[in-house]
Structure 1
Amino acid sequence: MVPEASPSPSPGVGARVLERVPGVLLCALIAAAAILIGHFVPWAGTALPAILLGVLIAAAWRPGARWTQGITFSSKMLLQIAVVLLGAQLSLGSIAVVGGRTLPVLIASLAVAWLGASLIGRLLRVPRRERTLIGVGTAICGASAIAAISPVIRAKSAEVSYAVATIFTFNVLAIAIFPAIGHALNMPPETFAVFAGTAVNDTSSVVATASIYAPAVLGVAVTVKLVRTLAIIPISVFLAAQEARRETDGSPLTARRVFSFIPWFLFGFLAIATLNTVIGFPAAVTETLTTGSTLLITVAMAGIGLSTNFGAIRRAGWRPLLLGAILWALVIGATLLALRWFG
């Protein structure tokens, strides 16, 4: 009798760290090149060169398994840590002020994206789950919102891929187009921060766009984006209730599940801001944390560029892409009008 093979043990913490090193180093090298470009071409910043260099490299060479874990870690975890560090620029009072003053603008953009996805998605014959994913991704926070609601509506992996690819297309376009819109309309930095935080899909693209236009108000743009991210909670609850009505085997909607919809880095951002409110960081500490955040953002942008899935974008077809384009344009228009009406 042949003895049964015992399952291989999962790699330890040290092994997992070593597996990420090659990809993280690759992203760091691209980030260094982007910082050099930003030094000689200041208007370009560092985020845009980093993501473009990553996209160009991914088009010419698809990173293999040796690199993917580090690239994924850079594009997700390092970006989230960078957002947490941005909390050092703000206090709870400023967060409350930003949230209160921008709430009408946020509500306008969310309503337009939500209704547009439902009505226009039906006209374009985009499947229900797919149009819901694209609508929520456009309305709230891109891939993070898609990831949060995909299990709620029981989306298939292909539908999630299509939606993420569609949203990513407009994330990249936003980084190039939004600063041009801001300059064309002579937007003050604070106004542009609200514009970017409200109308750009994904947190990473908000960070990149605000970094290019006015790095000094990056914290405001992220605050607006994080306030917008809170909409994941009521929308997820609403979608879960809808899904429960469609299927009798829907899992119960507990408080713990609702709590899980909130991204962890939102709590980290608020924790740093709370600490700054209570003790008041010295200027040197704030500058160090902000510089560290900027460096991590540049590395993360390189990782996002390297993660470009051209196959998923091609397979998405023209209907989801057209829906994403229309919703994106509607959100931009609604945000600009709301900024004009509400000041």
Structure 2
Amino acid sequence: MSRIPERYVRLLPGAALTAAGVAAALVLHAFVPDLGALVAALVLGAVLANTGLVPDRARPGLKAAVKTPMRAGIVLLGLGLSLPSVLALGGPVLLVVAGGLVATFVATVVLGRVMGIGPERRMLIAAGVSVCGASAVAAANDAVGGDDDDVATAVGLVTVFGTIAIPVLPALGATIGLGPGLTGMWIGASVHEVGQVAAAAGAAGGTALAVAVVVKLTRAVLLAPLMVVLGAWRRRTTSCRPEQETDRRPPLVPLFVVGFLAAAAIGGSGLLPEKALVVGGVLQTVLLSAGLFAMGTGVHLPTLAKSGARPLALGAAASTFIATLTLAGLTAVA
């Protein structure tokens, strides 16, 4: 009986540090709205780790924070999805969005392999670019099992190239005469983070913003089947390892993916009041920020720097690929 309290006591220093990091990330986001809370949390964790400000006694709590809050945050992400709004986009647009996601993921993984980037890192970059930025990286890592440097690289890339897209895509949409509706669809289908989508589409007007958010959340829905595919990949790769490792193979469908789909069904049912959805959105941000802050404290910058320019080139190529492909597809079906 005495072991149980002692186990949780060991987690308290890391939990307290995580709570402070999340609070700081939220404050930074409030003062600099273009800096997403998730990215701010990851960066703050990395800064503390690489300046020697993370005590050893905090490590157990930080390790626990990487998984449990992260999975709970991904479940709550489903509350923001409105399945009826997604279906209202129509079959051709949904096909372009889904096709662009799948093609981008596959192309990124294949190109990353050609460039000599490790399987975990290239899959996390592919997930972040093709689905929904830092949230997708965090979710995919649960199946892929990359290290903290892999996560930091992928999140950093979707941050950089998603930020570049904020002024570029609205300007290009206006230049080639897409109109606000089509511009919003294009932004939602190709920009990485939800916050980046909102910033980019907002510059194109209210119509573009409304459409862009729905399209973006449609990509988030596809996070669930992607997790199943990645889980199957990891099960297959671990089956080739020694017997003691195969006993711990991850489930084909992680429980939090089921929770994500259930939350999406509840969120789109209209049964929850608006206040509950708002609270769920806040909790989602807090929990995902907690997980990413904890991940950040495991980032070792000298190791990360050794990765060189190849991941940067892969992120640029993947971001350009999804923007070009979805623009062509949406223009064709419009």
Task: For 1:137 and 1:47, locate their aligned partners in 2 and report how far apart those are by CA, in whole Å.
Answer: 16
**Counterpart of 1:5?**
none
Does residue 26 (structure 1) correspond to residue 17 (structure 2)? The answer is yes
Q: 1:191 to 1:242 in 2, by over 3 A?
A: same
**Counterpart of 1:179?**
166
**Aligned residue identity for 1:268:** G
Task: For 2:66 and 2:164, locate their aligned partners in 1 and report how far apart those are by CA, in whole Å.
Answer: 22
Native 8 Å contact 2:153 2:311 kept in 1: yes
Pairwise CA RMSD of aligned residues? 4.4
For 1:70-85, what aligned pairs fall within 5 Å after superposition? 70-85=61-76
Identity of aligned residues (%): 23
For 1:1-343, what aligned pairs fall within 5 Å after superposition? 11-12=3-4, 14-44=5-35, 46-61=37-52, 63-94=54-85, 96=87, 101-115=93-107, 117-118=109-110, 121-122=113-114, 124=115, 126=116, 130=118, 132-140=119-127, 141-142=136-137, 144-145=139-140, 148=143, 164=151, 166-174=153-161, 176-182=163-169, 184-185=171-172, 192-196=187-191, 200=192, 206=193, 209=196, 221-234=216-229, 260-277=251-268, 280-319=271-310, 322-342=313-333
Task: For 1:80 and 1:242, locate their aligned partners in 2 and report how far apart those are by CA, in whole Å.
Answer: 23
Q: 1:39 to 1:162 in 2, by over 3 A?
A: closer
Unaligned runs of 5+ in 2: 128-135, 174-179, 203-208
Task: For 1:337 and 1:81, locate their aligned partners in 2 and report how far apart those are by CA, in whole Å.
Answer: 36
User: Deviations 1:127-186 (Å, cap 9, x if unpaired)?
Assistant: 7xx2x4444333334464465356xxxxxx8xx677555434413424543434455456
Native 8 Å contact 1:48 1:212 kept in 2: no
Native 8 Å contact 2:149 2:300 kept in 1: no
Matched residue of 1:316: which SS?
coil
Task: For 2:198 and 2:293, locate their aligned partners in 1 and report how far apart those are by CA, in whole Å.
Answer: 15
Task: For 1:143 and 1:46, locate their aligned partners in 2 and report how far apart those are by CA, in whole Å.
Answer: 14
CA apart distance, 1:308: 2.6
CA apart distance, 1:209: 4.1
CA apart distance, 1:282: 1.7
TM-score, structure 1 normalization: 0.66
Matched residue of 1:225: which SS?
helix
Native 8 Å contact 2:231 2:251 kept in 1: no
CA apart distance, 1:281: 0.9
CA apart distance, 1:321: 5.2
**Aligned residue identity for 1:225:** A
**Aligned residue identity for 1:192:** I
Q: 1:24 to 1:109 in 2, by over 3 A?
A: same
Q: 1:233 to 1:275 in 2, by over 3 A?
A: closer
Q: Matched residue pairs, number? A: 306
Question: After the TM superposition, which of the residue ranges 78-87 and 40-49 deviates more from structure 2?
Answer: 40-49
Native 8 Å contact 1:79 1:300 kept in 2: yes
Task: For 2:70 and 2:230, locate their aligned partners in 1 and report how far apart those are by CA, in whole Å.
Answer: 24
Native 8 Å contact 1:114 1:135 kept in 2: no
Task: For 1:223 and 1:48, locate their aligned partners in 2 and report how far apart those are by CA, in whole Å.
Answer: 22
CA apart distance, 1:271: 1.5
Q: 1:145 to 1:82 in 2, by over 3 A?
A: closer
TM-score, structure 2 normalization: 0.68
CA apart distance, 1:240: 7.5
Native 8 Å contact 1:23 1:67 kept in 2: yes
CA apart distance, 1:311: 3.5
Task: For 2:100 and 2:215, locate their aligned partners in 1 and report how far apart those are by CA, in whole Å.
Answer: 19
